[in-house]
């Protein structure tokens, strides 16, 4: 494929519009409305989100994780605390999320501060997962260099046999994080690249809503 052909990939967004007057005053409520729309439409993994972090070297790193809970304070996801993202969060707790619902031509960008989630809630979630996923969590030394795929498969099979009739121990290096937002941006695709962008920023204990140019 000639990369110059990429110049010809262009989509004209026409599905919807986003007026600041109809946006909720609280961005958490606006997000819940859009997430509910994505779930109701049976979109593929509507809770998938891109998580961007940066450690001491200030090099941004981004990956896709799954949103597991939305609470009043923020957005909860789970991972290995010793993973690359866990190490970066320990060095710099500022991060960003991105939700992209292609079929609805919608995007939500969120910036905020990350903290470790309640340990008891993390344990509760861990044991709500299938046992195979629990074993997977303790199998993988996430983000570390491993010799080959067989290393994982052998380690996983060994742990499956070990915990066949017993409870999988809740790992100390695994659990939840919560991103507490300080900024939201809701993006709705529009014609001629004149997209709707509504931003919320948190100042002096309240949310300020404003329109941005596309």
Domain 13-121+172-212 sits in which CATH superfamily?
Electron Transport, Fmn-binding Protein; Chain A (2.30.110.10)
Residues annotated catalytic, as ranges: 193
Residues 118-138: tens digit of each pLDDT: 999 999 999 999 999 999 999
Read off the pLDDT of each residue in 18-23 and give the average, rounded to a whole number: 96
Q: Which two tokens stand for residue 214?
A: 């596309």
Residues 78-119: tens digit of each pLDDT: 999 999 999 999 999 999 999 999 999 999 999 999 999 999
Of residues 11, 198, 18, 33, the one with CA closest to residue 109: 198
pTM as predicted: 0.92
For 129: left if phi > 0, alpha if psi spans -120 to 50, otherwise beta; the answer is: beta
């Amino acid at each position: 494929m000639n990369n110059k052909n990429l110049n010809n990939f262009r989509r004209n967004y026409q599905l919807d519009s986003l007026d600041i007057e109809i946006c909720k005053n609280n961005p958490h409520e606006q997000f819940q409305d859009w997430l509910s729309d994505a779930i109701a439409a049976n979109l593929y993994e509507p809770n998938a989100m891109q998580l961007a972090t940066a450690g001491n070297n200030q090099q941004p790193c981004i990956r896709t994780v799954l949103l597991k809970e939305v609470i009043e304070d923020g957005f909860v996801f789970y991972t290995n605390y010793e993973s690359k993202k866990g190490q970066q969060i320990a060095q710099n707790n500022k991060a960003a999320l991105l939700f992209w619902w292609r079929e609805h031509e919608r995007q939500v960008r969120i910036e905020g501060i990350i903290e470790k989630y309640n340990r008891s809630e993390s344990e509760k979630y861990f044991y709500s997962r299938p046992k195979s996923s629990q074993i997977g969590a303790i199998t993988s030394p996430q983000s570390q260099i491993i010799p080959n795929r067989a290393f994982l498969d052998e380690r996983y099979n060994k742990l499956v046999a070990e915990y066949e009739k017993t409870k999988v121990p809740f790992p100390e290096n695994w659990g939840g994080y919560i991103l507490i937002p300080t900024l939201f941006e809701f993006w709705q695709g529009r014609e001629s690249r004149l997209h709707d962008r509504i931003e919320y920023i948190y100042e002096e204990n309240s949310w300020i809503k404003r329109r941005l140019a596309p």
